[in-house]
Chain A
Amino acid sequence: MSVQVSLTVNGVERSAAVEERRTLADFLREELGLTGTHLGCEHGICGSCTVIVDGVSARSCLMLAVQADGAEVTTIEGLLEGGELGVLQQACRDSHAFQCGYCTPGFLMTATELLSENPNPTESEVREAISGNLCRCTGYESIVQAILLAAERGA
């Protein structure tokens, strides 16, 4: 059976009819065309699909779209500032914080939550915050540096 889901994504009200079993991740990608949110493991381990739901990070593969009805969601597409890369995105670019880029959206959403709660994190706080996101390319070093750089630049 399909059900109507209405929510705010990156400040824009969106609505679509979906199957009840549709995950939020698939809803964002398939119904709304926001393919910046990546799906890796689809069972909550890799962190690639992390988005912000009502102000806090969540695995969009572990949420049904219907659960997000009425919620405010921010995805990687919402990090742009006036059509340009946001501070965190630019810091990642400057620090070469990605290689294949598959995990990047999840890391950036996790870092967004961290910096909103703790604008000046220590390196160990950054490592703790991103411990639920897997990257198989970088070895994490450049990602940690990017988040610290973004904090320095006032992200």
Chain B
Amino acid sequence: MKPPAFRYLAPHTLEEALALRAEHAGDSAVLAGGQSLMPLLNLRMAFPGTLIDVGRVSELAGIREWDGGVAIGAMTRQRAAERSKLIGERAPLVAKALPSIGHPAIRNRGTIGGSIAHADPAAELPAVALALDAELVAASSSGERTIPASDFFAGYLTTSLAPDELLVEIRLPSLPDGHGSAFVELARRHGDFALVGVGAAVALDAAGAIADARLVFIGVGGAPVRAHEAEALLRGATPTDEVYAEAAERARDEIDPGSDSHASGAYRRRIAGVLAQRALREATP
């Protein structure tokens, strides 16, 4: 179908964007790359009175070094992030997850911040933000605040951003040098939303024991789920198939996937454990 009628505003600076966001706080949607919002409009699932297109706010795009890690401007296109050497070095889990997002034409337009602010529970980038303890910078006309990823995802397509706020930057702390990461998922067709997906990162200490482990799931609830208990079990352990099987079993208990026309909750839970073991093995340096 075609999008419903709306008022279209295209600010050129962040200051203008934030002023518009404040003025239309009750009834506006932010258009970034449009790869999630445009389908919602075309399907008449969203009816915003005002569309604030931040695509021409150039200060919102860019990738820079940040405190040993990397900071990504919210309007940075996913394709640009995929090709960024800095992201590949400082946040390899992002680089591993990006190719699973849609298709090249989608990633040419889709943005890092747009996907995170949209907060689809089957989307890769919200899960990556959660796994890496991202700091999400939200701006409004009254100032800026930093939201830890653990407080950001509130449920299905819902975040803790206020209606007058705009996600402006995603700051990703670096994991220890030499850590490995992997993102694996099961989808009906390549590029489809995952039935279940798992992101993992593993760092080893000098003795070969697990110094740090991250394990995050998508498609298993209203928001991405980080398996904290499984991570705790992994820390200090030796990276063996048995340990990974045990961690996967623990993670299965930490998620509560629902059933829909694509897969039952029981199937998702089973697959989540299988994928978790694969992701952990692949992530082991």
Contact = CB atoms under 8 A, between A and B. Distances in A.
B3 A23 contact: yes
A44 B106 contact: yes
A4 to B, nearest CB: 13
Main secondary structure of the interface of A (DSSP, over half): mixed
Contact of A20 (B8, B35, B105, B190): B8
Interface string A1-33: 101000000000000000111010010000000
Contact of A59 (B8, B10, B51, B105): B105
Interface stretch (A50-58, A72-80, A81-89): A50-58
Interface residues of A, number: 27
Nearest to B43: A43
Given A43-B43, A110-B105, A3 B8 contact: yes
Contacts of B219: none
Contacts of B53: 64, 66-67
Contact of A66 (B2, B8, B190, B191): B8
Which residue, B6, B7, B42, B191, has most C-beta atoms of chain A within 10 A?
Answer: B42
Contacts of A137: none
B55 A67 contact: yes
Assign chain B's interface to a size class: 20 to 34
B278 to A, nearest CB: 20
Contact of B105 (A3, A21, A23, A47): A47
B6 A67 contact: no
Contacts of B39: 43-44, 62
Interface in B133-178: none
A117 to B, nearest CB: 9
B35 A44 contact: yes
A126 interface: no
Contacts of A47: 103, 105
A3 B7 CA distance: 11
A24 B125 CA distance: 27
A45 B43 CA distance: 12
Contacts of A62: 34-35, 38-39, 42, 109
Given A1-B7, A44-B38, A62-B38, A21 B2 contact: yes
B8 A132 contact: no
Interface of A: 1, 3, 19-21, 23, 26, 42-44, 47, 50, 56-59, 61-64, 66-67, 110, 113, 129, 131-132
